[in-house]
């Protein structure tokens, strides 16, 4: 169980690629001397799981020896389950900060909705734990996380020095270039983009059809204040995220038209 | 395949409880003469799936005869997958409206984040299809959908008569009371509420521990403009929802403090 030195922040680390992925190892390396780090992460890949929780089956967790002296647990749950298990069954308290990632692949623009990495961070934010999701724009297992480690350390150090809102939630995306090509860190809004689906239709050996989800990313947003704009120019993008999904503009419109009165 | 009569709207119906649940049957009954209805829904329960998509395995779909003359397909995918398959492989076009539900159980307040019902509706909205998720505050299989059918029909009729934004997305929750006790329909904001987790720890016959996710719903929001407030007073709540998750207030704060400059 986590034992806390005086004033040393407890940092919960999770991800969606699974506990053995290089991304989470690099995240732990980047922050392990900034506080008491505890890892609670899925035992299998959970990309694209969104904000899924496990309600129809029970969960299991096992202590692992994967990160040297850093306490680590793998669970059979989703990224969101991991945050819930960490708070209730491992830490027995809220950590001071939750970090999710480093994801192998982009989570900018509309990807925030589908991302297990960002859903874990959002779950922490709902619980009142400041939280940051990190993603590198390189989906490969052998991606180079050297610059990412530096960026993560810079951002986490700055955040730990500030008195921040307990619901703070940041979506950080890092361009896949060496450190000396990174132009800086930009606070952005989420670009309006979507995927144009194109299912790959195949026939199995028994003559029955099956479909693989594929899709082409389309950015419809011409703004110069978006995450996609910043990343295309080799800036690190930081999008502050919220879990109040109310569309207040549409709410006013509907109230004005009295459509449902 | 869907054949469209002149000016008859195409209405895609989906859910997260599975295609055989009473909720979706009642939704189809409520709207089947308001347009050309096509059902594309999961073949197994998908509650709590959030915005999950299936990327690690292929999908299958089968035409079903469950709703009389209404065309229906079951798929092996999540609610979000169902919307994607419907547009790309079944309708071969965007429907004019997407309806999701009627969910067996509440999707007010923070539940919008975890809900497969609302994620299907949100996926449609991202695609530019006006969309509504319906939920009844009774999770039982044998729940009484009589009042819900009436409410659904009222709301869908009103929506079809208006020229609405293509990203329109509404989260409709219906109190579990007879029609004559329903006070009206209220446009609301999402209440700030969360679940206090409490995992039920058990030991299997082999001596190993496992955990069931349980939790107590806590509403922290005292506002009289929230969905929880309205539902407690027997109003139907309508929360307009958005998929731009940018927290613009925090964005301004971060820009002002120049934390990352």
pLDDT at A6: 57
Please state, as a whole number, how many other Cβ atoms lie within 10 Å of the Cβ of residue B242.
18
pLDDT at B7: 79
Task: Establish whether this prediction's ipTM goes over 0.90.
Answer: yes
Is residue B5's pLDDT more than 60?
A: no
Domain contains B109: yes
| Residue that wins the pLDDT comparison between A259 and B7 | A259
Domain contains B208: no
Q: Report which of A191, A176, A179, A203 is spatially closest to residue A227, judged by C-alpha positions.
A: A191
Domain contains A201: no
A42 chain-B contacts, CB cut-off 8 A = none
Percent of chain B at pLDDT exceeding 90: 86
Is residue B229's pLDDT more than 80?
A: yes
Domain contains A57: yes
A114: closest chain B residue by CA: B51
Tally the domains of chain B.
1
Is residue B3's pLDDT more than 70?
A: no
Instruction: State whether A59 and B213 contact (CB < 8 Å).
Output: yes
**Residue A183, phi-psi category: left (phi > 0), alpha (psi -120 to 50), beta (remainder):** alpha
Selecting from B61, B89, B251 the residue whose C-beta is nearest the C-beta of A189 gives B251
For residue A138, what is the domain's CATH number? Answer: 3.40.1210.10
Q: How far is B39 from chain A (nearest CA, A)?
A: 18
pLDDT tens digit sequence for A57-80: 899 999 999 999 999 999 999 999
Domain contains B48: yes
| Alpha carbons A20 and A41: distance in angstroms, whole number | 9
A185–B contact, CB cutoff 8 A: yes
Peptide bond into B96 cis (omega under 30): no
Residues ≥6 apart with Cβ < 8 Å to A58? B202, B210, B211, B212
- The runs of H, that is alpha helices, within A203-245 are 227-232
Name the pTM for this structure: 0.93
A110 chain-B contacts, CB cut-off 8 A = 126, 243
Domain that holds residue A72: 10-190+223-257
| Confidence category of residue B6, pLDDT binned at 50, 70, 90 | low
| Alpha carbons B12 and A66: distance in angstroms, whole number | 47
**CB-facing half-sphere around the CA of B36: CA atoms within 13 A:** 15
Q: Report which of A111, A114, A108, A51 is spatially closest to residue A83, judged by C-alpha positions.
A: A51
Chain A contacts in chain B segment 211-250 (CB below 8 A): 211-213, 238-248, 250
pLDDT tens digit sequence for B232-255: 999 999 999 999 999 999 999 999
pLDDT at A3: 52
Residues ≥6 apart with Cβ < 8 Å to A213? A197, A199, B53, B54, B55, B59, B81, B84
SS3 content of chain B, % helix, strand, coil (to 5): 30, 30, 45
pLDDT at B93: 95
Backbone angles phi, psi at A118, to 5 degrees: -75, -30
Instruction: State whether B50 and A50 contact (CB < 8 Å).
Output: yes
Domain contains A208: no
Q: With residue B216 as reference, give the H or E element that holds it.
A: strand B215-219
Q: Report which of B136, B14, B22 is spatially closest to residue B78, judged by C-alpha positions.
A: B14
pLDDT at B261: 82
pLDDT at A1: 47
- Cβ burial B111-148 (10 Å sphere, 16+ → b, else e): bbbbbbbbbbbbbbbbbebbbbbbbbbbeeeebebebb
Q: How far is B25 from chain A (nearest CA, A)?
A: 23
**CB-facing half-sphere around the CA of A191: CA atoms within 13 A:** 27
| Alpha carbons B17 and B78: distance in angstroms, whole number | 10
pLDDT tens digit sequence for A25-38: 999 999 999 999 99
pLDDT at B49: 76
B260 chain-A contacts, CB cut-off 8 A = 155, 158, 184-187, 238
pLDDT at A196: 87
A8–B contact, CB cutoff 8 A: no
pLDDT tens digit sequence for A72-118: 999 999 999 999 999 999 999 999 999 999 999 999 999 999 999 99
Domain contains B125: yes
Domain contains B46: yes
pLDDT tens digit sequence for A207-256: 999 999 998 999 999 999 999 999 999 999 999 999 999 999 999 999 99
Instruction: State whether B56 and A47 contact (CB < 8 Å).
Output: yes
Is the separation of the CB atoms in B155 and B168 below 8 Å? Answer: no
B64–A contact, CB cutoff 8 A: no
pLDDT tens digit sequence for B92-150: 999 999 999 999 999 999 999 999 999 999 999 999 999 999 999 999 999 999 999 99
Selecting from A58, A198, A212 the residue whose C-beta is nearest the C-beta of B211 gives A58
B227: closest chain A residue by CA: A246
| Confidence category of residue B203, pLDDT binned at 50, 70, 90 | very high
A196: closest chain B residue by CA: B127
Instruction: State whether B52 and A52 contact (CB < 8 Å).
Output: yes
Q: Report which of B50, B57, B104 is spatially closest to residue A53, judged by C-alpha positions.
A: B50
């Amino acid at each position: 169980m986590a034992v806390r030195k005086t004033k040393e922040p407890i940092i919960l680390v999770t991800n969606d690629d699974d506990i053995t992925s290089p991304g989470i190892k690099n995240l732990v390396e980047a922050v392990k001397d900034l506080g008491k780090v505890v890892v609670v992460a899925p035992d299998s890949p959970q990309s694209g799981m969104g904000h899924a929780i496990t309600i129809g089956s029970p969960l299991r967790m096992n202590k692992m020896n994967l990160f040297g002296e850093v306490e680590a647990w793998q669970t059979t749950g989703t990224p969101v389950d991991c945050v819930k298990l960490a708070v209730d069954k491992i830490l027995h308290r809220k950590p001071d900060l939750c970090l999710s990632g480093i994801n192998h692949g982009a989570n900018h623009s509309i990807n925030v909705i589908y991302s297990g990495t960002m859903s874990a961070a959002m779950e922490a934010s709902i619980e009142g734990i400041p939280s940051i999701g990190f993603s590198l724009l390189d989906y490969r297992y052998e991606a180079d996380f050297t610059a990412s480690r530096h960026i993560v350390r810079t951002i986490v150090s700055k955040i730990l020095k500030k008195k921040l809102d307990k619901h703070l939630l940041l979506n950080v995306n890092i361009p896949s270039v060496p450190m000396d090509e990174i132009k800086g860190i930009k606070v952005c809004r989420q670009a309006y983009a979507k995927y144009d689906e194109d299912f790959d239709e195949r026939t199995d050996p028994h003559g029955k059809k099956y479909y693989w989800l594929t899709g082409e990313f389309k950015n419809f947003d011409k703004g110069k204040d978006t995450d996609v704009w910043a990343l295309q120019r080799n800036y690190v993008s930081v999008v502050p995220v919220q879990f109040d999904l109310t569309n207040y503009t549409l709410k006013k419109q509907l109230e004005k038209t009295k459509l449902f009165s």
